[in-house]
Amino acid sequence: MKRTRAVWRDFFELPLEVKQQYANSPSTYEGYGSRLGIEKGAILDWSDYFFLNYLPVTLRNQSKWPAQPVSCRELVAKYGAQVTKLCGRLLKAMSINLELKEDYLQNAFGGDEMGACLRANFYPKCPQPELTLGLSSHSDPGAITILLPDPDVAGLQVRKGGKWITVKPFPNAFIVNVGDQIQVLSNANYKSVEHRVIVNSEKDRVSLAFFYNPKSDLLIEPAKELVNEDRPALYKPMTYDEYRIYIRMNGPCGKTQIESMKSNR
């Protein structure tokens, strides 16, 4: 965990010309990007990121991952394998909590064909942190997210009721976010967490978000076992591909996207 985070910090500290060789493609989002200074007058997030596909293996293109630092590709591959296993175990625990068979969630999301991607985030220190956010309020669109935060700098905030609560970094611990697709499948027995990142005037911050997502062309809908007369299905069936298009069109905007998916029953 430490080495993988360190390798990304080293990547973000490379000269801009080197990082720009990995500039992301607007269609796939893969590669290095920054939303700073794109549009005059727009309020943009104070962060750089690197986005890559990890699963399915057919979408994994290691030649697009950073060649520098030299250990980056190998470490990311190893890190991804371990975190994928952890995601599988968490989905089992969550299935059991919902009184479903332990493989229920994983199977409903595509079994061995689930998707995964990694977003390495870099939040530079900001001279006037009260004027911007590192990452605007959103919920993660997929199933679950395993976040490796920076142990030295707090930044992540979660919304509880009407209040933003800063999550204290805890050494060697992951933060697990419930994503929108678990909310749909569990018929809102689990709720995705609304979160955002604030910036710091003293220190920059590195975090790794590993997203575990449904197979993209599978219809995701509330589990039949969790639907009854008292609690009808709250969401209509939709593929993750369709949901992602919708999300990307609108950009981060709290939990309004998943809320607007509620069927009118």
Per CB under 6 A, residues contacting ligand OGA are 119, 121, 135, 140, 147, 149, 155-156, 195, 197, 207, 209
Nearer to ligand OGA, 121 or 200 (CB): 121
Rank residues 53 and 100 by Cβ distance to Ni ion and give the closer one. 53
**Interaction of residue 180 with Ni ion, rule CB under 5 A:** no
- Closest distance between ligand OGA and the C-beta of residue 81, in Å? 20
Choice from 30, 45, 140, 150 touching Ni ion (CB under 5 A): 140
* Closest to ligand OGA by CB, 141 or 222: 141
Task: Give min distance, CB of 227 to ligand OGA, in A.
Answer: 29
- Least Å distance between CB 195 and Ni ion? 6
CB of 209 to Ni ion, least distance (A): 6
Number of residues that bind Ni ion (CB under 5 A): 1
* Choices 52-60, 70-78, 87-95, 140-148 (CB under 5 A): range interacting with Ni ion: 140-148
Q: How far is the CB of 173 from Ni ion (least distance, A)?
A: 17
Closer of 49 and 65 to ligand OGA (Cβ): 49
Q: What span, in angstroms and rounded, lies between the C-alpha atoms of 229 and 208?
A: 41
194 binding Ni ion? (CB under 5 A): no
Q: Which is nearer to Ni ion, 30 or 140 (CB)?
A: 140
Dihedral sign computed on CA atoms, order 13, 38, 159, 265: negative
Q: Which residues bind Ni ion (CB under 5 A)?
A: 140
